[in-house]
Amino acid sequence: TDCQPSLRDRARHSLRHFLADFTQLEREYPHTYPKSILRAEGAYVYDEAGHRLLDAGTHLGACQIGHGSAEVAERIARQVKRLEFIALDGGISHPYAVALAQRLAGMVLCDDPIFSFTNSGSESNELAFKIARQYHRRRGQPQRVKILSRVGSYHGSTYAAAAATGVAAFKEGFGPLPEGFIQGAQPSPGRCGQCGPSDACSMACFDAFSRTVENEGPATVAAIIAEPVAIPQAVKVPHPEYFTRLRKFCDHHGILLIIDEVVCGFGRTGKMFGAEHFGVRGDIVTYAKGLTSGYVPMGAVAVSRRVEEVFKDSPLLHLNTYAGHPVACEAAMAVLDITERDGLVAHAARMQAVLRRELERMQAGVPRVRHLCVIGLLSSTLADISDQADPDATVRKVRKLAYDHGLLVRISRDGALLGAHFYPPLVVSEADIVSGVKALGQALEAI
């Protein structure tokens, strides 16, 4: 398009003033820079050289309906012309937020919910923690302040969300973090070290987690937060009974259960919500990413009526300028329409078998692959890189090789394991998965 030369120029020359997700591109990626994505369509993105890549992870799990939807673009444009913004403050509302809340209320796993909107997953979790602590305070239990989460979880990078995150690297060097955030064991079938090396899970991790809560004193715990399927390091699908036990445990001790659907929500795992795999209902449930499929940033917090009751006489004081932004509400409505009309959740469920088949085929040819996990269109592949002299250089090399083979995939390192998270938009076809996984295999084979 006409603007491409100037965009390309900017991407090349302005890096001195730019941090891409807090990495200085030239320093961190000396051999791969510059990689600028100029446009996108469906499951594919195009870089400045016109190179076409399957986006199997660089949307970070936000892109469900695919890139570049003209339908969403038109509805967003219409909303900007109609009402681009008004804050939900001083008794003022607008029908776009009201309608979205009503629609979501009929879908989510939370009893008779009431919704607040945010701009991201981190913000949604921050608000969930504030609601949980205030809920107990207002019910005469101000000592209930602790928030328990699980090791190997990710809940965001703002202060309290980072404090709840169970990956040390996101917290180190930022202290003091908010107090009262504690992590216990998390299921990771085949990897957790509690049930041994088999994929059979005995839920020893649940017992270990409940012991952590008991040692802390259940009467001091405000809430437990858990993702239905957590993804840091490896995708972790818990035992089918795990959440039934967790729900009962919370009820028994008067602890609120916060379900973090930020990455699982809106079809990613082959069901509309991750919690549907386990039939678990949260007292508070948080969303973002797939809610608007990344077209406009937006998050949401569902609060069950039972919890919301305590705020009836005197509302929670929490102000967020862009909460329920009309353009984001319209984007969410358009994304939900497309998801339902095109049967994207059922498609993701069908593609699970294809993704698993292709990853297993790849594993057969790449002996260093040690572990696979697939649910819906969310997957992780762990490869042993203990023989590599410079494991970080290996991570960069695999990322570059995948790129050169036409694949954007999330590659990270956990000690001597390289993790590849392959999670394409839900519009991906069988042929896209076949060629994408082949590219991943070629990149892993080369190390």
H-type alpha helices, 108-153: 121-138
Partners of 236 in beta bridges: 230
Distance CA 358, CA 335 (A): 29
Distance CA 277, CA 283 (A): 17
Q: Which is nearer to ligand PLP, 116 or 120 (CB)?
A: 120
Where are any strands of DSSP class E within 208-310? Answer: 221-226, 256-260, 284-287, 299-303
Q: Which is nearer to ligand PLP, 209 or 405 (CB)?
A: 209
Q: Which is nearer to ligand PLP, 127 or 385 (CB)?
A: 127
Calculated CA dihedral for residues 370, 374, 378, 379, nearest 10 degrees: 10
Q: Which of 66, 113, 152, 156 binds ligand PLP (CB under 6 A)?
A: 156
Single out the residue of 18, 39, 61, 16 nearest to residue 292, CA to CA: 61
Q: Which is nearer to ligand PLP, 45 or 288 (CB)?
A: 288
What is the smallest separation between the CB atom of 348 and ligand PLP, expressed in angstroms? 17
Q: Which of residues 286-315 bind ligand PLP (CB under 6 A)?
A: 288
Q: Which is nearer to ligand PLP, 229 or 369 (CB)?
A: 229
Single out the residue of 244, 326, 364 nearest to residue 77, CA to CA: 326
Q: Give the chain's length.
A: 447
What is the smallest separation between the CB atom of 339 and ligand PLP, expressed in angstroms? 19
- Asked if residues 290 and 268 have their Cβ atoms less than 8 Å apart, the reply is yes
Which part of the chain contacts ligand PLP (CB under 6 A), choosing from 37-45, 129-137, 148-156, 369-377? 148-156
- What is the pairing mode between strands 284-287 and 256-260? parallel
Other residues' Cβ atoms within 10 Å of the Cβ of residue 173: 5
Contact call for residue 260 and ligand PLP (CB under 6 A)? yes
Q: Which is nearer to ligand PLP, 155 or 277 (CB)?
A: 155
Q: Which is nearer to ligand PLP, 59 or 75 (CB)?
A: 59
Where are any strands of DSSP class E within 309-377? Answer: 369-375
What is the smallest separation between the CB atom of 262 and ligand PLP, expressed in angstroms? 3
Contacts with ligand PLP, 105-124, as mask; x by CB under 6 A: ---------------xxx--
Q: Which of 192, 234, 262, 383 binds ligand PLP (CB under 6 A)?
A: 262
Q: Which residue is nearest to ligand PLP (CB)?
A: 121
Q: Which is nearer to ligand PLP, 55 or 227 (CB)?
A: 227
Q: Which is nearer to ligand PLP, 79 or 153 (CB)?
A: 153
Contacts with ligand PLP, 37-66, as mask; x by CB under 6 A: -----------------------x------
Q: Tokens 């444009």 — which residue?
A: 77
User: For the chain, how many helices (H) and strands (E)?
Assistant: 13, 15
Q: Which of 67, 136, 155, 239 binds ligand PLP (CB under 6 A)?
A: 155
Which amino acid, residue 151?
V
Rg (CA), the chain: 22
Which part of the chain contacts ligand PLP (CB under 6 A), choosing from 51-59, 154-162, 388-396, 426-434? 154-162
**CA angle (231, 234, 235) in 5-degree steps:** 50
What is the smallest separation between the CB atom of 299 and ligand PLP, expressed in angstroms? 6
Which part of the chain contacts ligand PLP (CB under 6 A), choosing from 93-101, 209-217, 256-264, 385-393? 256-264
Enumerate residues 6+ apart whose C-beta is below 8 A from 267: 64, 290, 339, 344, 345, 348, 376, 377, 426
Other residues' Cβ atoms within 10 Å of the Cβ of residue 321: 10
Angle between the N-to-C axes of helices 204-216 and 242-253, in degrees from 0 to 180, rounded to the nearest 10: 20
Q: Which is nearer to ligand PLP, 64 or 363 (CB)?
A: 64
Please work out the total of residues on this chain that contact ligand PLP, with binding judged by CB under 6 A.
13
Q: Which of 154, 181, 209, 242 binds ligand PLP (CB under 6 A)?
A: 154
What is the smallest separation between the CB atom of 386 and ligand PLP, expressed in angstroms? 28
Q: Tokens 């009929």 — which residue?
A: 106
What is the smallest separation between the CB atom of 238 and ligand PLP, expressed in angstroms? 14
Residues near ligand PLP (CB under 6 A): 60, 120-122, 125, 154-156, 227, 260, 262-263, 288
